[in-house]
Structure 1
């Protein structure tokens, strides 16, 4: 069964940092089918976290909403609903 409770982010363009408006999320690496395991990340009290699979640095930006990212195309929306 798919888990839709958390926003998912990807780094298809290998940017150095992705700013996001949420502290609890999933990193998928890059778009499927080359994605890594969809890993749950929680920044806790910190404002940054690095994905242990792909080394993408995520930075919390309170100016962004929970479903927003900078760059914007880093938010992963599963069009197939999987």
Structure 2
């Protein structure tokens, strides 16, 4: 994991689920003041993960690029690990 960028996802629209193209990522909640601590999440062998802060369900979709989401527009930024 070290040496590459970690995508950060946000859920400003309050979607119950977001499809993403990575299994290791950060959830930041929504834009301030509705954000939460940046939570590193790793799906491991699973294909879904729920953020313990905001309860957003993230679903792995291998057809998506690292910063693509369904619905679109849920990617915030990336930062180096």
Q: Greater share of strand residues, 1 or 2?
A: 2
For structure 1, which runs of at least 5 residues remain unmatched after alignment? none
TM-score normalised per structure 1: 0.84
Distance 1:23 1:77 in 2: 16
Give the corresponding residue for 2:41. Answer: 41
Deviations 1:10-68 (A, max 9, x none): 11111111000000000000013421000000000000000000000000001101111
Q: Which runs of 5+ in 2 are unaligned?
A: none
Question: Could you tell me which residue of structure 1 aligns to residue 69 of structure 2?
Answer: 69
Name the structure 2 match of 1:55.
55
* Relative contact order higher in (CA < 8 Å, ≥ 6 apart): 2
Q: TM-score scaled by structure 2?
A: 0.85
d(CA) in 1 for partners of 2:40, 2:77: 16
Q: CA RMSD in A?
A: 1.6
Secondary structure of the residue aligned to 1:38 is: strand
